[in-house]
A and B are shown apart, each in its own frame.
Chain A
Amino acid sequence: MLFGFTWDTSHGELAFAISILPILLMGLLVTIEASIAGFAVAMVLGLIFAVLKGAPSRFISWPATFITEFFRDTPLLVQLFFLYYVLADHGVILPAFLTGCLALGVQYSAYTAEVYRAGIEAVPKGQSEAARALDFSPLHTFTHIILPQAIPRVVPAFGNYLVSIMKDVPVLSVVTVLEMLGVAKIIGDQTFDYMVPLTMVGGIYLILTIVCSGVVRYVDMKLPKTGIPLK
Protein backbone atom coordinates (compact mmCIF):
# COMPACT_ATOMS: atom_id res chain seq x y z
CA MET A 1 0.00 0.00 0.00
CA LEU A 2 1.24 3.46 -0.87
CA PHE A 3 -0.43 6.88 -0.65
CA GLY A 4 -3.54 5.06 0.63
CA PHE A 5 -3.92 2.97 -2.55
CA THR A 6 -3.58 -0.80 -2.52
CA TRP A 7 -2.47 -2.88 -5.48
CA ASP A 8 -4.21 -5.91 -6.87
CA THR A 9 -1.77 -8.72 -7.65
CA SER A 10 -4.24 -11.57 -7.89
CA HIS A 11 -6.26 -10.71 -11.02
CA GLY A 12 -3.63 -10.62 -13.71
CA GLU A 13 -1.33 -7.99 -15.17
CA LEU A 14 -4.03 -5.64 -16.41
CA ALA A 15 -5.80 -5.43 -13.04
CA PHE A 16 -2.39 -4.87 -11.42
CA ALA A 17 -1.57 -2.10 -13.90
CA ILE A 18 -4.91 -0.38 -13.32
CA SER A 19 -4.58 -0.66 -9.54
CA ILE A 20 -1.14 0.99 -9.47
CA LEU A 21 -1.94 3.74 -11.98
CA PRO A 22 -3.27 6.18 -9.34
CA ILE A 23 -0.14 5.58 -7.24
CA LEU A 24 2.13 6.30 -10.20
CA LEU A 25 0.12 9.42 -10.99
CA MET A 26 0.68 10.64 -7.44
CA GLY A 27 4.37 10.11 -8.11
CA LEU A 28 4.03 11.95 -11.41
CA LEU A 29 2.68 14.94 -9.50
CA VAL A 30 5.84 15.00 -7.37
CA THR A 31 7.95 14.65 -10.54
CA ILE A 32 6.25 17.66 -12.09
CA GLU A 33 6.53 19.71 -8.90
CA ALA A 34 10.23 18.90 -8.62
CA SER A 35 10.83 19.76 -12.30
CA ILE A 36 9.16 23.14 -11.97
CA ALA A 37 10.91 23.96 -8.70
CA GLY A 38 14.27 22.82 -10.08
CA PHE A 39 13.69 24.81 -13.26
CA ALA A 40 12.87 27.92 -11.22
CA VAL A 41 16.14 27.57 -9.30
CA ALA A 42 18.03 27.04 -12.58
CA MET A 43 16.45 30.16 -14.10
CA VAL A 44 17.44 32.37 -11.16
CA LEU A 45 20.94 30.91 -10.64
CA GLY A 46 21.53 30.87 -14.39
CA LEU A 47 20.71 34.56 -14.69
CA ILE A 48 23.12 35.36 -11.85
CA PHE A 49 25.89 33.31 -13.50
CA ALA A 50 25.18 34.85 -16.89
CA VAL A 51 25.59 38.34 -15.44
CA LEU A 52 28.73 37.36 -13.50
CA LYS A 53 30.31 35.67 -16.54
CA GLY A 54 29.70 38.81 -18.57
CA ALA A 55 31.19 41.06 -15.87
CA PRO A 56 33.89 43.45 -17.12
CA SER A 57 36.32 42.44 -14.35
CA ARG A 58 38.22 39.18 -14.83
CA PHE A 59 38.24 38.64 -11.08
CA ILE A 60 34.51 38.07 -11.35
CA SER A 61 34.08 36.56 -14.80
CA TRP A 62 36.79 33.89 -14.56
CA PRO A 63 35.65 32.34 -11.26
CA ALA A 64 32.07 32.45 -12.53
CA THR A 65 33.14 30.64 -15.71
CA PHE A 66 35.04 28.04 -13.68
CA ILE A 67 32.09 27.43 -11.37
CA THR A 68 29.61 26.95 -14.20
CA GLU A 69 32.06 24.60 -15.97
CA PHE A 70 32.39 22.65 -12.75
CA PHE A 71 28.63 22.42 -12.31
CA ARG A 72 28.22 21.34 -15.91
CA ASP A 73 30.95 18.68 -15.88
CA THR A 74 30.05 16.83 -12.67
CA PRO A 75 27.22 14.31 -12.38
CA LEU A 76 23.87 15.35 -10.97
CA LEU A 77 23.88 12.27 -8.73
CA VAL A 78 27.15 13.28 -7.07
CA GLN A 79 26.03 16.89 -6.68
CA LEU A 80 22.85 15.62 -5.08
CA PHE A 81 24.75 13.39 -2.63
CA PHE A 82 27.09 16.26 -1.89
CA LEU A 83 24.23 18.61 -1.03
CA TYR A 84 22.33 15.93 0.84
CA TYR A 85 25.14 14.64 3.06
CA VAL A 86 27.63 17.50 3.23
CA LEU A 87 25.12 20.23 4.02
CA ALA A 88 23.64 18.00 6.72
CA ASP A 89 27.11 17.47 8.20
CA HIS A 90 27.47 21.23 8.55
CA GLY A 91 24.14 21.71 10.23
CA VAL A 92 22.06 22.74 7.19
CA ILE A 93 19.29 20.17 7.19
CA LEU A 94 16.94 20.55 4.24
CA PRO A 95 14.06 18.26 3.33
CA ALA A 96 15.01 15.75 0.63
CA PHE A 97 12.65 17.36 -1.87
CA LEU A 98 14.26 20.79 -1.47
CA THR A 99 17.77 19.33 -1.68
CA GLY A 100 16.76 17.59 -4.89
CA CYS A 101 15.34 20.74 -6.46
CA LEU A 102 18.46 22.63 -5.43
CA ALA A 103 20.70 19.99 -7.05
CA LEU A 104 18.64 20.09 -10.26
CA GLY A 105 18.83 23.87 -10.23
CA VAL A 106 22.59 23.92 -9.65
CA GLN A 107 23.25 21.43 -12.44
CA TYR A 108 21.04 23.18 -14.96
CA SER A 109 22.07 26.72 -13.99
CA ALA A 110 25.28 26.07 -15.95
CA TYR A 111 23.19 25.41 -19.04
CA THR A 112 20.66 28.21 -18.55
CA ALA A 113 23.48 30.73 -18.00
CA GLU A 114 24.69 29.97 -21.53
CA VAL A 115 21.16 30.34 -22.90
CA TYR A 116 20.76 33.76 -21.28
CA ARG A 117 24.11 34.90 -22.67
CA ALA A 118 23.43 33.59 -26.15
CA GLY A 119 19.99 35.21 -26.15
CA ILE A 120 21.30 38.58 -25.06
CA GLU A 121 24.29 38.50 -27.42
CA ALA A 122 22.04 37.60 -30.35
CA VAL A 123 20.31 40.98 -30.13
CA PRO A 124 22.10 43.18 -32.68
CA LYS A 125 24.52 45.69 -31.16
CA GLY A 126 22.83 48.50 -33.10
CA GLN A 127 19.83 48.15 -30.81
CA SER A 128 21.69 49.17 -27.67
CA GLU A 129 23.56 51.87 -29.60
CA ALA A 130 20.27 53.29 -30.81
CA ALA A 131 18.91 53.17 -27.25
CA ARG A 132 21.94 55.07 -26.02
CA ALA A 133 21.52 57.62 -28.79
CA LEU A 134 17.93 58.10 -27.61
CA ASP A 135 19.25 58.69 -24.06
CA PHE A 136 17.83 55.50 -22.50
CA SER A 137 19.45 54.56 -19.19
CA PRO A 138 21.37 51.23 -19.21
CA LEU A 139 18.70 49.58 -17.06
CA HIS A 140 15.93 50.94 -19.26
CA THR A 141 17.80 49.71 -22.35
CA PHE A 142 18.09 46.24 -20.86
CA THR A 143 14.48 45.88 -19.73
CA HIS A 144 12.78 47.63 -22.65
CA ILE A 145 15.04 47.02 -25.65
CA ILE A 146 17.31 43.98 -25.11
CA LEU A 147 15.16 41.67 -22.99
CA PRO A 148 11.98 41.86 -25.12
CA GLN A 149 14.00 40.85 -28.17
CA ALA A 150 16.00 38.19 -26.34
CA ILE A 151 12.98 36.34 -24.92
CA PRO A 152 11.71 34.80 -28.19
CA ARG A 153 15.24 33.53 -28.86
CA VAL A 154 15.64 31.81 -25.50
CA VAL A 155 12.17 30.36 -24.91
CA PRO A 156 12.67 27.19 -27.02
CA ALA A 157 16.01 26.42 -25.37
CA PHE A 158 14.55 26.90 -21.90
CA GLY A 159 11.62 24.71 -22.83
CA ASN A 160 13.99 21.94 -23.88
CA TYR A 161 15.88 22.21 -20.61
CA LEU A 162 12.62 21.95 -18.69
CA VAL A 163 11.98 18.66 -20.48
CA SER A 164 15.54 17.53 -19.68
CA ILE A 165 15.04 18.39 -16.01
CA MET A 166 11.88 16.29 -15.99
CA LYS A 167 13.90 13.34 -17.24
CA ASP A 168 16.51 13.87 -14.51
CA VAL A 169 14.02 14.00 -11.63
CA PRO A 170 14.13 10.18 -11.11
CA VAL A 171 17.66 10.64 -9.77
CA LEU A 172 16.05 12.35 -6.76
CA SER A 173 14.57 9.02 -5.72
CA VAL A 174 17.97 8.05 -4.28
CA VAL A 175 17.53 10.62 -1.50
CA THR A 176 14.05 9.26 -0.70
CA VAL A 177 12.01 11.70 -2.81
CA LEU A 178 8.91 9.71 -3.78
CA GLU A 179 8.71 10.71 -7.43
CA MET A 180 7.32 8.41 -10.11
CA LEU A 181 10.28 6.08 -10.60
CA GLY A 182 10.90 5.79 -6.86
CA VAL A 183 7.28 4.84 -6.38
CA ALA A 184 7.47 2.26 -9.17
CA LYS A 185 10.62 0.79 -7.63
CA ILE A 186 8.89 0.43 -4.25
CA ILE A 187 5.93 -1.30 -5.90
CA GLY A 188 8.38 -3.61 -7.66
CA ASP A 189 10.29 -4.33 -4.44
CA GLN A 190 7.09 -5.32 -2.68
CA THR A 191 5.32 -7.29 -5.41
CA PHE A 192 8.42 -8.71 -7.17
CA ASP A 193 6.88 -7.52 -10.42
CA TYR A 194 9.12 -4.77 -11.78
CA MET A 195 7.97 -5.28 -15.35
CA VAL A 196 4.54 -3.63 -15.10
CA PRO A 197 5.35 -0.54 -12.97
CA LEU A 198 8.65 0.24 -14.74
CA THR A 199 7.11 -0.15 -18.20
CA MET A 200 4.23 2.10 -17.14
CA VAL A 201 6.68 4.73 -15.90
CA GLY A 202 8.46 4.56 -19.26
CA GLY A 203 5.15 4.97 -21.08
CA ILE A 204 4.03 7.90 -18.91
CA TYR A 205 7.41 9.58 -19.45
CA LEU A 206 7.13 9.12 -23.19
CA ILE A 207 3.67 10.74 -23.23
CA LEU A 208 4.85 13.53 -20.93
CA THR A 209 7.92 14.44 -22.97
CA ILE A 210 6.13 14.21 -26.31
CA VAL A 211 3.36 16.50 -25.03
CA CYS A 212 5.86 18.95 -23.49
CA SER A 213 8.03 19.03 -26.62
CA GLY A 214 4.88 19.70 -28.64
CA VAL A 215 3.95 22.59 -26.33
CA VAL A 216 7.46 24.04 -26.57
CA ARG A 217 7.33 23.85 -30.38
CA TYR A 218 3.87 25.45 -30.43
CA VAL A 219 4.93 28.30 -28.14
CA ASP A 220 8.06 28.81 -30.24
CA MET A 221 5.92 29.02 -33.37
CA LYS A 222 3.43 31.45 -31.82
CA LEU A 223 5.99 33.82 -30.29
CA PRO A 224 6.47 37.00 -32.32
CA LYS A 225 10.02 36.80 -33.66
CA THR A 226 10.54 40.55 -33.46
CA GLY A 227 10.10 40.66 -29.70
CA ILE A 228 7.56 40.88 -26.92
CA PRO A 229 6.61 44.25 -25.42
CA LEU A 230 6.92 43.88 -21.67
CA LYS A 231 4.31 46.51 -20.84
Chain B
Amino acid sequence: MEWSEYVKPLMQGAWITVQLTVYSTILGAICAFAFGIGKLSSNWAIKGFSVAYIEIFRGTSLLVQLFWLYFALPIAGDAIGINLRLPPVAAGVLALGLNIGAYGAEVVRGAIQSVRYSQYEAAKALNFSSRQALWRIALPQAIPEMMPAFGNLAVQNLKDTALASLISLGDLAFAAERIRNFTQDSTTVYTMILFMYFGMALVVAGLMRLLERAVGRWRTVGH
Protein backbone atom coordinates (compact mmCIF):
# COMPACT_ATOMS: atom_id res chain seq x y z
CA MET B 1 0.00 0.00 0.00
CA GLU B 2 1.19 3.48 -0.87
CA TRP B 3 1.22 6.18 1.74
CA SER B 4 -1.38 8.14 -0.25
CA GLU B 5 -3.86 5.35 0.39
CA TYR B 6 -3.55 5.99 4.12
CA VAL B 7 -4.73 9.56 3.76
CA LYS B 8 -8.45 8.84 3.52
CA PRO B 9 -8.79 6.63 6.64
CA LEU B 10 -6.48 8.95 8.54
CA MET B 11 -8.56 11.98 7.58
CA GLN B 12 -11.67 10.21 8.85
CA GLY B 13 -9.87 9.58 12.12
CA ALA B 14 -8.67 13.17 12.23
CA TRP B 15 -12.25 14.40 11.85
CA ILE B 16 -13.25 12.39 14.95
CA THR B 17 -10.25 13.86 16.78
CA VAL B 18 -11.35 17.37 15.81
CA GLN B 19 -14.91 16.76 17.04
CA LEU B 20 -13.65 15.21 20.24
CA THR B 21 -11.36 18.18 20.82
CA VAL B 22 -14.09 20.75 20.17
CA TYR B 23 -16.73 19.13 22.37
CA SER B 24 -14.39 18.36 25.26
CA THR B 25 -12.82 21.82 25.14
CA ILE B 26 -16.29 23.40 25.36
CA LEU B 27 -17.23 21.12 28.25
CA GLY B 28 -13.87 21.87 29.85
CA ALA B 29 -14.40 25.62 29.54
CA ILE B 30 -17.82 25.36 31.19
CA CYS B 31 -16.39 23.26 34.04
CA ALA B 32 -13.42 25.60 34.40
CA PHE B 33 -15.59 28.67 34.92
CA ALA B 34 -18.24 26.91 37.03
CA PHE B 35 -15.78 25.31 39.45
CA GLY B 36 -13.12 28.02 39.33
CA ILE B 37 -15.72 30.57 40.44
CA GLY B 38 -17.22 27.94 42.74
CA LYS B 39 -13.91 27.53 44.56
CA LEU B 40 -14.05 31.24 45.46
CA SER B 41 -17.64 31.02 46.66
CA SER B 42 -18.45 31.94 50.24
CA ASN B 43 -21.00 29.12 50.33
CA TRP B 44 -19.07 26.22 51.88
CA ALA B 45 -21.07 23.53 50.09
CA ILE B 46 -20.31 24.99 46.65
CA LYS B 47 -16.73 25.66 47.64
CA GLY B 48 -16.24 22.17 49.05
CA PHE B 49 -17.73 20.52 45.98
CA SER B 50 -15.55 22.60 43.66
CA VAL B 51 -12.39 21.83 45.64
CA ALA B 52 -13.23 18.12 45.65
CA TYR B 53 -13.85 18.13 41.88
CA ILE B 54 -10.60 19.96 41.15
CA GLU B 55 -8.52 17.77 43.45
CA ILE B 56 -9.98 14.50 42.15
CA PHE B 57 -9.60 15.30 38.47
CA ARG B 58 -6.20 16.96 38.80
CA GLY B 59 -4.94 14.40 41.26
CA THR B 60 -5.62 11.27 39.22
CA SER B 61 -4.46 10.21 35.82
CA LEU B 62 -6.64 11.02 32.79
CA LEU B 63 -6.40 7.45 31.57
CA VAL B 64 -7.65 6.23 34.96
CA GLN B 65 -10.60 8.61 34.67
CA LEU B 66 -11.31 7.46 31.13
CA PHE B 67 -11.21 3.77 32.06
CA TRP B 68 -13.26 4.45 35.16
CA LEU B 69 -16.03 6.15 33.18
CA TYR B 70 -15.98 3.51 30.46
CA PHE B 71 -15.42 0.27 32.38
CA ALA B 72 -16.32 0.90 36.02
CA LEU B 73 -19.28 3.28 35.78
CA PRO B 74 -21.61 0.72 34.11
CA ILE B 75 -20.93 -1.66 37.02
CA ALA B 76 -21.68 1.07 39.54
CA GLY B 77 -24.87 1.76 37.56
CA ASP B 78 -25.88 -1.90 37.65
CA ALA B 79 -25.44 -1.93 41.42
CA ILE B 80 -28.00 0.84 41.85
CA GLY B 81 -30.19 -0.27 38.96
CA ILE B 82 -29.47 2.49 36.43
CA ASN B 83 -28.04 1.91 32.98
CA LEU B 84 -24.84 3.98 32.92
CA ARG B 85 -23.29 2.25 29.92
CA LEU B 86 -21.77 5.20 28.09
CA PRO B 87 -20.97 5.01 24.40
CA PRO B 88 -17.22 5.57 23.80
CA VAL B 89 -17.82 9.09 22.45
CA ALA B 90 -19.71 10.16 25.57
CA ALA B 91 -17.14 8.60 27.91
CA GLY B 92 -14.32 10.22 25.93
CA VAL B 93 -15.83 13.71 25.85
CA LEU B 94 -16.83 13.49 29.50
CA ALA B 95 -13.43 12.31 30.74
CA LEU B 96 -11.47 14.77 28.59
CA GLY B 97 -13.75 17.69 29.41
CA LEU B 98 -13.87 17.04 33.15
CA ASN B 99 -10.10 16.53 33.27
CA ILE B 100 -9.13 19.66 31.37
CA GLY B 101 -11.87 21.59 33.18
CA ALA B 102 -10.19 20.87 36.52
CA TYR B 103 -6.92 22.34 35.27
CA GLY B 104 -8.82 25.27 33.76
CA ALA B 105 -10.65 25.88 37.05
CA GLU B 106 -7.33 26.60 38.77
CA VAL B 107 -6.48 29.06 35.98
CA VAL B 108 -9.85 30.80 36.37
CA ARG B 109 -9.46 30.98 40.15
CA GLY B 110 -5.92 32.35 39.88
CA ALA B 111 -6.89 34.99 37.32
CA ILE B 112 -9.90 36.18 39.34
CA GLN B 113 -7.79 36.37 42.47
CA SER B 114 -5.16 38.40 40.64
CA VAL B 115 -7.67 41.19 39.94
CA ARG B 116 -6.57 43.97 42.24
CA TYR B 117 -8.47 44.36 45.47
CA SER B 118 -9.06 48.05 44.83
CA GLN B 119 -11.25 47.06 41.88
CA TYR B 120 -13.63 45.27 44.24
CA GLU B 121 -13.52 48.18 46.67
CA ALA B 122 -14.42 50.55 43.84
CA ALA B 123 -17.27 48.22 42.80
CA LYS B 124 -18.53 48.17 46.35
CA ALA B 125 -18.27 51.96 46.59
CA LEU B 126 -20.40 52.19 43.44
CA ASN B 127 -22.97 49.92 45.10
CA PHE B 128 -22.43 46.90 42.82
CA SER B 129 -23.76 43.65 44.22
CA SER B 130 -21.13 40.94 44.57
CA ARG B 131 -22.61 39.18 41.53
CA GLN B 132 -22.33 42.36 39.47
CA ALA B 133 -18.79 42.90 40.73
CA LEU B 134 -17.88 39.40 39.55
CA TRP B 135 -19.51 39.60 36.12
CA ARG B 136 -18.87 43.23 35.27
CA ILE B 137 -15.64 44.05 37.07
CA ALA B 138 -13.63 40.94 37.88
CA LEU B 139 -14.27 38.61 34.93
CA PRO B 140 -13.72 41.13 32.08
CA GLN B 141 -10.31 41.88 33.58
CA ALA B 142 -9.52 38.28 34.51
CA ILE B 143 -10.43 36.59 31.21
CA PRO B 144 -7.61 38.16 29.14
CA GLU B 145 -5.17 36.97 31.83
CA MET B 146 -6.50 33.42 31.51
CA MET B 147 -6.05 33.18 27.75
CA PRO B 148 -2.37 32.16 27.47
CA ALA B 149 -2.92 29.33 29.97
CA PHE B 150 -6.14 28.33 28.18
CA GLY B 151 -4.21 28.15 24.92
CA ASN B 152 -1.81 25.64 26.45
CA LEU B 153 -4.68 23.65 27.92
CA ALA B 154 -6.47 23.49 24.56
CA VAL B 155 -3.36 22.01 22.93
CA GLN B 156 -3.01 19.67 25.90
CA ASN B 157 -6.59 18.59 25.36
CA LEU B 158 -5.99 17.90 21.67
CA LYS B 159 -3.05 15.68 22.58
CA ASP B 160 -5.08 13.93 25.26
CA THR B 161 -7.78 12.93 22.76
CA ALA B 162 -5.32 10.28 21.49
CA LEU B 163 -6.01 8.36 24.69
CA ALA B 164 -9.64 7.96 23.65
CA SER B 165 -8.44 5.46 21.05
CA LEU B 166 -7.83 3.11 23.98
CA ILE B 167 -11.59 2.84 24.61
CA SER B 168 -12.07 1.91 20.94
CA LEU B 169 -13.03 5.38 19.75
CA GLY B 170 -12.15 5.69 16.05
CA ASP B 171 -9.97 8.79 16.29
CA LEU B 172 -6.70 9.53 14.50
CA ALA B 173 -4.55 7.37 16.77
CA PHE B 174 -7.05 4.52 16.39
CA ALA B 175 -7.08 4.83 12.61
CA ALA B 176 -3.28 4.69 12.60
CA GLU B 177 -3.26 1.63 14.83
CA ARG B 178 -5.68 -0.11 12.49
CA ILE B 179 -3.57 0.65 9.43
CA ARG B 180 -0.47 -0.56 11.26
CA ASN B 181 -2.20 -3.83 12.13
CA PHE B 182 -3.21 -4.22 8.52
CA THR B 183 0.00 -3.25 6.72
CA GLN B 184 2.76 -3.44 9.37
CA ASP B 185 4.06 -0.20 7.82
CA SER B 186 4.47 1.56 11.15
CA THR B 187 7.15 4.06 10.12
CA THR B 188 5.03 5.78 7.46
CA VAL B 189 1.78 5.74 9.40
CA TYR B 190 3.16 7.00 12.67
CA THR B 191 5.29 9.67 10.99
CA MET B 192 2.18 10.85 9.15
CA ILE B 193 0.01 11.10 12.24
CA LEU B 194 2.75 12.77 14.28
CA PHE B 195 2.77 15.55 11.70
CA MET B 196 -1.03 15.60 11.53
CA TYR B 197 -1.25 16.06 15.30
CA PHE B 198 1.45 18.71 15.10
CA GLY B 199 -0.47 20.55 12.38
CA MET B 200 -3.71 20.39 14.36
CA ALA B 201 -1.91 21.65 17.46
CA LEU B 202 -0.62 24.65 15.50
CA VAL B 203 -4.16 25.38 14.30
CA VAL B 204 -5.56 25.11 17.84
CA ALA B 205 -2.78 27.36 19.17
CA GLY B 206 -3.47 29.86 16.38
CA LEU B 207 -7.21 29.90 17.07
CA MET B 208 -6.59 30.41 20.77
CA ARG B 209 -4.27 33.31 19.96
CA LEU B 210 -7.04 34.91 17.86
CA LEU B 211 -9.42 34.48 20.79
CA GLU B 212 -6.79 35.94 23.08
CA ARG B 213 -6.55 39.01 20.87
CA ALA B 214 -10.35 39.31 20.72
CA VAL B 215 -10.76 39.38 24.49
CA GLY B 216 -7.58 41.42 24.95
CA ARG B 217 -9.52 44.62 24.43
CA TRP B 218 -11.36 43.97 27.71
CA ARG B 219 -8.17 44.84 29.49
CA THR B 220 -8.50 48.10 31.37
CA VAL B 221 -6.28 50.93 30.18
CA GLY B 222 -3.13 51.40 32.21
CA HIS B 223 -3.50 47.97 33.81
B-binding residues in A (CB < 8 A): 69-70, 73-79, 81-82, 85-86, 89-90, 166-171, 173-174, 181, 184-185, 188, 193-195, 198-199, 201-202, 205-206, 209-210
For B60, list chain A residues within 8 Å (CB): 167, 201-202, 205-206, 209
Q: Is the CB of A81 within 8 A of B71?
A: no
B120 to chain A, nearest CB (A): 28
Indicate if the CB atoms of A74 and B197 lie closer than 8 Å.
yes
Q: Is the CB of B71 within 8 A of A167?
A: no
Contact yes or no, B64 A77, CB < 8 A: no
Question: What is the minimal beta-carbon distance from B133 to any residue of chain A, in angstroms?
Answer: 31
Interface assignment of B55: CB less than 8 Å from any CB of chain A = yes
**Interchain CB contact under 8 A, A194 and B190:** no
173-188 of chain B: CB within 8 A of chain A: 173, 176-177, 180, 186-187
Please state if A198 and B71 are interface contacts (CB–CB under 8 Å). yes
Taking a contact as CB atoms under 8 Å apart, the answer to whether A170 and B194 are in contact is no
B56 in contact (CB, < 8 A): yes
Interface pair B194/A78, CB less than 8 Å apart = yes
Closest to A209 in B: B59
> Which residue of A73, A194, A210 is within 8 Å of B155 (Cβ)?
A73
Q: Chain A contacts of B72 at CB under 8 A?
A: 188, 194-195, 198-199
Query: Is B61 engaged at the interface, CB distance under 8 Å to the other chain?
Result: yes
Report if A167-B62 is in contact (Cβ < 8 Å); known contacts: A78-B173, A206-B55: yes
Size of chain B's interface in residues, with CB distance under 8 A?
Answer: 40
CA distance A81 to B173 in the complex (A): 9
Chain A neighbourhood of B209, CB < 8 A: none
Of B42-50, B107-115, B159-167, the segment with at least 4 beta carbons within 8 Å of chain A is B159-167
Residue of B nearest to A66 (CB): B198
Set of chain B residues within 8 Å of A195, measured between Cβ atoms: 72, 75-76, 79
- Does B30 reach chain A (CB closer than 8 Å)? no
Q: Are B162 and A77 in contact, with the CB atoms below 8 A? A: yes
A14→B62 CA distance, assembly (Å): 26
Q: A94 to nearest B CB, angstroms?
A: 15
Q: Are B201 and A194 in contact (CB under 8 A)?
A: no
Tell me if B67 and A198 are in contact (CB < 8 A): yes
CB of B59 within 8 A of CB of A79, answer no
Residues of A within 8 A of B190 (CB): 78, 81-82, 85-86
Expressed in whole angstroms, the Cα–Cα distance for A141 and B201 within the complex equals: 39
Q: Which residue from chain A places its CB closest to the CB of B185 in the assembled complex?
A: A89
Q: Which residue of B lies closest to A31 (CB)?
A: B61
CB of B68 closer than 8 Å to a CB of A: yes
- A195–B75 Cα gap in the complex (Å)? 6
Q: How far apart are the CA atoms of A75 and B157 in the complex, in Å?
A: 10
Partner of B64, one of A78, A89, A181: A181
A123 to B28, CA, bound (A): 37
Interchain CA distance A193-B198 in the complex, whole Å: 38
Decide yes or no: A77 and B173 within 8 Å by CB, A86-B187, A167-B62, A170-B61 being known contacts. Answer: yes
Using A74-B194, A78-B190 as known contacts, say yes or no to A174 and B166 having CB atoms under 8 A apart: yes
| Interface: B11 (CB within 8 A) | no
CA distance A205 to B67 in the complex (A): 14
10 contacts between A and B (CB under 8 A): A74-B194, A78-B193, A85-B186, A86-B190, A167-B62, A168-B61, A170-B63, A170-B64, A184-B67, A210-B55
Known: A74-B201, A195-B79. 4 other contacts (CB 8 A): A70-B194, A85-B186, A86-B187, A181-B61
- The answer to whether B71 touches A206 (Cβ under 8 A) is no
Chain A residues whose CB sits within 8 angstroms of the CB of B64 once the complex forms: 170, 181, 198, 201-202, 205
